[in-house]
Every structure is written in C-alpha cells, then in structure tokens.
Amino acid sequence: SELTLTQDGRESVLAPLEGVPVFHWHGDEFEIPAGADRLASTGGFPNQAFSLGSQNLALQFHIEADLRFIERWLIGHSGELATAGIDPQALRDGAARHGCQLADAAREVIESWLDGI
C-alpha cells in the first residue's frame, strides 16, 4: 500500500517514503503512545509509523522486505494466504514492481535515522 506521511512524517527521517508503496504483513493495529508523533498511515491502517523523541522510531510496515524475504514469507505462509484469499502472485508482482523504489527510500530512511542517534 502507498504510504501517506503526516506533516510530522514529511519533516522526519521517513520523508523519502512519501508516496512509496510499502509491504505489509499484518492484520494488527495499535494506538499511538502518549507523547508520540504519528508519522504515517495507509488506506486501511491509520497508524503505520510513529516517533517518540528523536531516537525512537516505530514502523508497522516492513521497510526491510526485499524480494527474497517476501518470497520466503509467501512460501512459508501459503496456507494462511489461501485462507485469507490473498493472491501470492499479486504480492510477487507488486514487490517486483516497487522493490527498487522501496529499497532506495529505505536506505535513505535508515541512514538518516542512524545519523540522528
């Protein structure tokens, strides 16, 4: 799903991810902790990222997921995907289509975050 950054998100280390499709592997939701800043959302999940101070960054999506990682998940969870009616080939196609864009943005995010701690 395409990531939408809040104003705080656009001013954070997540800025390179604005509009980048990110990989999800969850059905969980969470509340933003008191004192934290919501940084990002997607259509189905309003809380995808938050920060608490300058050193704590929490992500609900998988910034680290590359094609090999995703393929292992697809194989290892094929029964779960079938039960949920999720097409593994559609996930493969999306990962192949957007993987380089996500990898480049993820590298920028991680480097910026590490520089700040």
Per-residue pLDDT tens digits for 57-80 = 999 988 888 888 888 888 888 888
The angle that helices 67-76 and 88-115 make with each other, rounded to 10 degrees, is 130
> Residue 87 corresponds to which tokens in the numbers above?
């097409």
d(CA 57, CA 54): 8
For the entire predicted model, the pTM comes to: 0.80
Q: What is the residue extent of each domain of the chain?
A: 4-115
Q: What was the pLDDT predicted at 26?
A: 67
Does the domain at 4-115 match CATH 3.40.50.880? Answer given as: yes
Q: Which residues, given as ranges, of the chain have pLDDT below 50?
A: none
